[in-house]
Amino acid sequence: MDAKESQALWEKVEEIGNSIIQCPMECPGMRNIPSENYYPRGFFLESNNSKADVVVVGLNPGKAGSLTREFYKFAAEKNLERKGVKKATYDDSVRISRAISEDHKYYERPRSLLKKLGMSPTNILWAEIAFCEKDDCCTGRQFKNALDTCSKQYLVSILRLLGEGVHVVCLGRRAYDRIYKLIHVDDEWKNEWKDAQLKILGVYHPTGSRLFGRYFKGKRKMAERRLQETIIKDFERLEHSHGYSRFLPERTRRRTKTKIR
């Protein structure tokens, strides 16, 4: 991808990112409250200067820490001075997201796993199913509605950015099920993706599941071979364009091989 193509990709990402952070919807149970420094977040390219090799998708952002909210407050005040609008921008969101991603386990662990699998991405596009965090009173139905709304409003546009054969790595079973349904089941969208050859891989959540660490445990060579054989070898075949990598509990491991499904 040359500089012109990289710039074109970044401009498309920026366009979607601007629409996300300026989202006018106030979904019940979700925090999209700029006046209190809660913004939609979690969508960014690690670099503006190369293609996206892999798209990593989570379910939705966790609770914003105090430093994140302070950054958004500071950015909004600066924008009020410069532009007359007291709101953070998508550029602000990218800056804080890239800074957090440098040493946060949520980002570090998937990067390590992708390298172990031989993908070695040079540029990851990070995304979510829903881009707002839940509030403390969010019900299951409210969260489901927010996931549905965000998928149709933003996630479909993000998936349209991807080139043929790009890997979509989903963090956690719920994120995987959502992406799988959108691409392979949902009547409204599945015909759009049937020739796209998107490759969908689900893995345990890097911070929400204790099982994620099993990708790295055991004798190093055996663990690496198991990962390669049970995930990538099958996953790269056209007929296996999707799969969720799961390890069975210790008590059943002797009787059943790790598998992809």
What digits encode the pLDDT tens for the residues 77-87?
A: 999 999 999 99
**Average pLDDT of the residues in 43-51:** 83
In whole angstroms, what separates CA 150 from the centre of its chain? 13
- Residue 135 CA to residue 5 CA, distance in Å, equals 39
Q: Could you tell me the pTM of the whole model?
A: 0.85
Residue 255: band (very low, low, confident or very high) from pLDDT cuts 50, 70, 90: very low
| Tokens standing for residue 235 | 């996953």
- CA-nearest of 49, 53, 55, 44 to 5 is 49
* 3-class SS of residue 170: strand
In whole angstroms, what separates CA 132 from the centre of its chain? 13
- Residue 89 CA to residue 17 CA, distance in Å, equals 9
| Tokens standing for residue 83 | 């532009």
Q: What are phi and psi of 89, to 5 degrees?
A: -110, 175
| Digit-coded pLDDT (tens) for 74-125 | 999 999 999 999 999 999 999 999 999 999 999 999 999 888 777 767 789 9
Show the CA angle centred on residue 109, arms to residues 168 and 21, nearest 5°: 60
Exposure pattern of 209-247 as b/e (b: 16+ CB <10 Å)? eeebebbeeeeeeeebebbeebbbeebeeeeebbbbbbb
Count Cβ atoms below 10 Å from residue 143 Cβ, excluding itself.
18
Tell me the range of 41-55, 122-136, 161-175, 191-205 where mean pLDDT is highest. Answer: 122-136
**181 Ramachandran zone, left/alpha/beta (phi>0; psi -120 to 50):** alpha
Q: Which domains are delineated in the chain? A: 3-260 (3.40.470)
